[in-house]
Amino acid sequence: MHPAPAATATNLPLARAINAGLRAAMSRDDKVLVMGEDVGPLGGVFRVTDGLQAEFGEDRVVDTPLGESGIVGTAVGLALAGYRPVVEIQFDGFIFPSYNQITTQLAKLTYRTQGQVQMPVVIRVPYGGHIGAIEHHSESPEALFAHTAGIRVVTPATAADGYSMIQQAIASPDPVLFLEPKSRYWEKGPVELDEPTPVDDDALTRDLHAARVVRPGTDVTIATYGPGVKVSLQAADVAQQDGSSVEVIDLRSISPMDVDAVVASVHRTGRLVVVHEAPTFFGPGAELAAAVSERCFYALEAPVLRVGGYHTPYPASVHESVYLPSLDRILEAVERSLAA
């Protein structure tokens, strides 16, 4: 671990916190490159890379052609040459042209070479809904990548996590899909800009993939991540007014998933509701529900319930409030769990 100066706390939006984390990683290691469509002078669609090209130059912040497969394929070659590329996919729905490169090359090269080749590639993806976007701009494809062995899948829900987790992801020897909840980009939170960042594998694995209890409770557990954290906390506030104590866990990592943290919570509360914007059908919550049902069979007072997107294509923006987990849908699930 590199020594760090005293931390300076400040309030930043999530987008600016990730920007600061990228800047810190690039300052620490000149092998870190940023590449993607419009990441240079424009600073990306959501301005997450704003100012980086002016500071680090066109050789390290590279505007690429419009071709996701080529962008990720180039990142694979750069990793083989000893670099640590950070790829930006403009929108979640644009990642699918690169799916083959990610799942058949990026995810498998380390295993295929028995660990002799490492793939320290980060793929940043704005994901999720609640921005009123057009088709292909509001997907939640995390389950497709979490199902593929060899890729870490993580997502920050706060500015502080955005700052620290992007640096941990870049330090990882393995490829990381870094999912950024676009609806939370401009929500501010406290960030310690100069906090120490672990760069050894053991600390990275322990910290990057550890879930966090963001609100303690005694009656029911809500496990969620990314864009689901805010609405789950709102549901816990409303439930508290009705006399129910809801514990909220931010998973932070989808693959690997900190099931132990959820199991410990369910042993305290006896109930679990899983919330995510991805479809519940074969979604990340299905894996968590199965694992908790197996490990907490005698502790559960009610079936594990899931609240998420439906098994349909993502709807037009006028209907997304019906499709996505809402405060009412989460509270209904909490009430059903408590009534069981």
Residue 337: DSSP 8-state: H
Closest CA to 319 of 125, 133, 92, 180: 133
Residues of the chain with CATH 3.40.50.970: 10-208
Each residue of 239-288: pLDDT tens digit?
999 999 999 999 999 999 999 999 999 999 999 999 999 999 999 999 99
The fold of the 10-208 domain, in CATH, is Rossmann fold (3.40.50)
Instruction: Supply angle C-alpha 65, 68, 73, rounded to 5.
Output: 95
Write down the pLDDT at residue 207: 87
CATH 3.40.50.920 in the chain: give the residue spans: 212-339
Mean pLDDT, range 61-75, rounded to an integer: 96
Nearest CA to 13 out of 186, 157, 192 is that of 186
Please tell me the distance from the alpha carbon of residue 274 to that of residue 260, in angstroms, as a whole number.
Answer: 15
For residues 323 and 309, the answer to whether their CB atoms sit within 8 Å is yes
DSSP state at residue 138 = S
The residue among 107, 122, 120 whose CA lies nearest residue 48 is: 122
Distance CA 163, CA 54 (A): 20
Residue type, 156: P
Give me 30's structure tokens. 């000149």
**Would the pTM of this model clear 0.85, i.e. be above it?**
yes
Tens of pLDDT along 207-240?
A: 899 999 999 999 999 999 999 999 999 999 999 9
To the question of domain 212-339 being in CATH 3.40.50.920, the answer is yes
Amino acid residing at 252: R
Structure tokens at 113: 């070479």
Which residues participate in catalysis according to the annotation?
A: 137
Contact 174, 118 (CB under 8 A): yes
CA distance 278 to 31: 34
